[in-house]
Structure 1
């Protein structure tokens, strides 16, 4: 990102008033500061509570213990951790333009930021693979997407982003070639994640554009196959095997709805994070001149993706709304509540 755009402000305040080489602090009006804190705290709380409901629902109710839902559970855990570990500290940094939490935690925070973002998109990529087999090869879905396979998916989704994020930040490979800029902006109270030209492209390609392209390709194929199946079912015989056909239609409709919902989750992810990753690529090539507020706006747009996911579940999954009611009314504390049905009897 660029150096702070308030360096030459006539009304300079500092992050640490009695420390030499302290960074300038962003001077904002009190109403704007209050509005920003209210909006960001609301987003953090909604992200935390929404994803906590998803985690509790899938973990508690046995009816939700399916391979797809275990992936969703892990992704909700990723979003929940983002709301706890990353977003609160980014909020202070975005509003105050100061980092009050030490140099070591600055690196850890940057690592968690990269890791959790990359982990989310890896989960979405594997969810698209799960949906591919559910819709395009339903007869072999149960044998191909098993719990051991899901465990491998989860291991890859977490281990590679952890290695990638912590390895990149602590090795400082992302700073090679940008040393002069780093020295020029260095001050006490600064915590920014800077990518050189090479790693701006590589990191965005690895964490976003490559898996995003794979997901879009898979979902386009899924929708093509789903539409063809729907036409075949609509043109099928109506006099024989009525019960079997009814079950087939019901199953097809359920898989189609789940696929559409998860594709909306993916689409929201792409729309939320694409501006940030495009900026990550272009910023080194324009000598890090991106305004700080624009950078923060795109970053928080990406964070808001973790807020939107539970809202999408609530809009499209009846089981989520029913589980939500059971959680807030305390029904989940009743004996054998984990065996209660969350689906309509004739779904």
Structure 2
């Protein structure tokens, strides 16, 4: 990024932030999980459990909120190209990133202060927030967590892409009825720019879909416990969704490396 000026854009700053949060998730979760799996139980003590779960929460939430920011950035660039000029400058992109990390931190810290807790989960080879205890405090944290770090960002992402699809459809119709007929070079140039933005949006959409698919089973397990049916969950059914969710960090570098030569 530092060497290539063509990559120094607000959109790419968001993608770099996603790569950083994914990398930090990977190095803080995978080695610990693998070591505990070899021992078949948690071996790093209570403080280690809390730190592990906190890192998983912080970097997982950061990735989700960054994906929302990427979707909204594509929305403004594609659906409101003139209005978006200057809206996502490098300075504003950096401010957005600071906001993303502070927001994620705000939702990751409460278990340290008695609102829910970070505890071993499933087969006791990993830790997470306590979604199994059926108390008002724990249930409130679980519901608010899912509303503000999963469901609302997901709605924002869906909203963004619905209007992105609409904008692309209108642009296609316009270029067919006006651009090609009159040979307007400026129009063709604008259309080509939108096509490039759409290509970037499609890559982001694939990343977002894989992320949501990866975290959905984990969400379902937590919501089953939230509803008071934790007795139907086994250590195995708790652990597998957690592994799938945290393995989601491997998708993004593969997708960007395959689809975008500059990122490669």
Please confirm whether the aligned pair reaches a TM-score higher than 0.5, indicating the same fold: yes
Tell me which residue corresponds to 2:144: 202
- 1:163 positional shift: 2.3
- 1:240 positional shift: 4.6
Q: What SS is found at the alignment partner of 1:238?
A: helix
Tell me which residue corresponds to 1:298: 241
Question: Cα–Cα, structure 1 residues 295 and 152, in superposed 2: closer, same or farther, change >3 Å?
Answer: same
Tell me which residue corresponds to 1:150: 93
Question: Cα–Cα, structure 1 residues 148 and 275, in superposed 2: closer, same or farther, change >3 Å?
Answer: same
Provide the rounded CA distance (Å) in 2 between the counterparts of 1:217 and 1:278.
Answer: 22
- 1:320 positional shift: 2.5
Question: Cα–Cα, structure 1 residues 93 and 243, in superposed 2: closer, same or farther, change >3 Å?
Answer: same
Question: Cα–Cα, structure 1 residues 91 and 295, in superposed 2: closer, same or farther, change >3 Å?
Answer: farther
Provide the rounded CA distance (Å) in 1 between the counterparts of 2:6 and 2:221.
Answer: 42
Tell me which residue corresponds to 1:113: 56
Provide the rounded CA distance (Å) in 1 between the counterparts of 2:52 and 2:165.
Answer: 38
Tell me which residue corresponds to 1:251: 193
Tell me which residue corresponds to 1:126: 69
Q: Within 5 A, what are the aligned runs for 1:36-51?
A: none
Question: Cα–Cα, structure 1 residues 142 and 304, in superposed 2: closer, same or farther, change >3 Å?
Answer: same
- 1:77 positional shift: 0.2
Select which of 5, 10, 30 maps to 1:67. 10
- 1:239 positional shift: 5.9
Q: Count the aligned residue pairs.
A: 253
Does the aligned pair in 1 maintain the 2:18–2:66 contact within 8 Å?
Answer: yes
Tell me which residue corresponds to 1:104: 47
Does the alignment pair 1:172 with 2:114? Answer: yes
Provide the rounded CA distance (Å) in 2 between the counterparts of 1:239 and 1:191.
Answer: 62
Under a length normalisation based on structure 2, what TM-score does the superposition of the two structures give?
A: 0.87
- 1:84 positional shift: 0.9
Rg bigger for which structure? 1
Question: Cα–Cα, structure 1 residues 217 and 191, in superposed 2: closer, same or farther, change >3 Å?
Answer: closer
Provide the rounded CA distance (Å) in 1 between the counterparts of 2:126 and 2:262.
Answer: 45
Under a length normalisation based on structure 1, what TM-score does the superposition of the two structures give?
A: 0.67
- 1:198 positional shift: 2.4
Question: Cα–Cα, structure 1 residues 189 and 121, in superposed 2: closer, same or farther, change >3 Å?
Answer: closer
Q: Within 5 A, what are the aligned runs for 1:213-228?
A: 213-228=155-170
Tell me which residue corresponds to 2:135: none
Per-residue CA shift, 1:280-334, capped at 9, x if unaligned?
121241135422222221112112221001111122213223xxxxxxxxxxxxx
Does the aligned pair in 2 maintain the 1:265–1:309 contact within 8 Å?
Answer: yes
